[in-house]
A = this chain, B = another copy of it.
Amino acid sequence: MEDRRPASQRIADDLRRSIQSGELAAGERLPSERELASRYGTARNTARAAVSLLASSGLVVAEHGRGVFVRSRGPLIRMSSDRYSPRHHDDELPPFRAECARQGKLGRVEMISVERVTPPPDVAARLSLSTSSKSVIQRESVSFADDDAVHRVTTWIPWSIAKGTGLVRPDVGHPRGIYGVLEGETGHAMTRIREEVTARMPTPDEQGYLRLPPGVPVLDVLHTSLDQNSEPYELTRFVMRADLAGLVYDVPVE
């Protein structure tokens, strides 16, 4: 009966197995830390270490005063590459809200700010701008599905393009949103997009405004729109909760 593995890992492994086998179903409460400690004959801290291993890998979530619960993973909000397609120009709902509706959720977008700012270096580089002062309009918003913040969206448009359009104000007022304005009022039609996708753990402020439980990474998508001259005219960064949202690319092989 050798047991070379540390007690905390043994407890964590036992719990993980119980979860994966379905013995502990999604939403169910784990034994309390004190219960685990006495059951395994360890100090409470040790049982607690085991639970926090599972928490930091996103398997369970602790609720203060209530217990530790198995996280449930529903279907993801899927941001598809065809969300910019002309096929969808006459849709009733914008892509995010349509996807939420498809899953029986209520989509909602909350505008945070619209400002003329100096672009961060990675943004300036992709828009072929010098990092000269206040050369872009920055629009920030947060998208919700049924009160869960799903992603934060930050859009940058060169001031030289956005100047004089409705894009400098929070309410856009165009049936097709900012892309409608960009095509209709400034003549930039989207012909290609380029999206650079990474994943990482959230920063503390992202944890804050997305209300992220520990152990949930974010998808970080840097989107560039190219116009009919293959020139970049708009950049958007999506920071998405990876446990609530995913990406789908459906593309031709060229």
Contact = CB atoms under 8 A, between A and B. Distances in A.
Interface of A: 13, 16, 56-58, 76, 78, 81-82, 84-87, 190-204, 214-215, 217-219, 242-243, 246-254
- Assembly of this chain: how many copies? 2
Given A16-B204, A242-B217, A81 B197 contact: no
A254 B82 contact: yes
8 contacts: A57-B203, A81-B249, A192-B250, A193-B253, A194-B248, A197-B197, A197-B247, A198-B242
Nearest to A196: B248
A194 B191 CA distance: 19
Contacts of A246: 196-198
Contacts of A199: 199, 217-219, 242
Contact of A191 (B218, B242, B252): B252
Contacts of A248: 194-197
Given A197-B197, A217-B242, A247-B196, A57 B253 contact: no
A83 B242 CA distance: 25
A249 B85 contact: no
Main secondary structure of the interface of A (DSSP, over half): mixed
Given A56-B201, A56-B214, A197-B249, 14 more contacts: A58-B200, A87-B254, A192-B250, A192-B253, A193-B253, A194-B250, A198-B219, A198-B242, A199-B199, A199-B217, A199-B218, A199-B242, A200-B243, A252-B254
A200 B217 CA distance: 6
Given A76-B198, A195-B249, A199-B242, A56 B56 contact: yes
A252 B249 contact: no
Contact of A200 (B13, B86, B204, B242): B242
Contacts of A201: 56-58, 215, 217
Given A56-B201, A56-B214, A246-B197, A190 B253 contact: yes
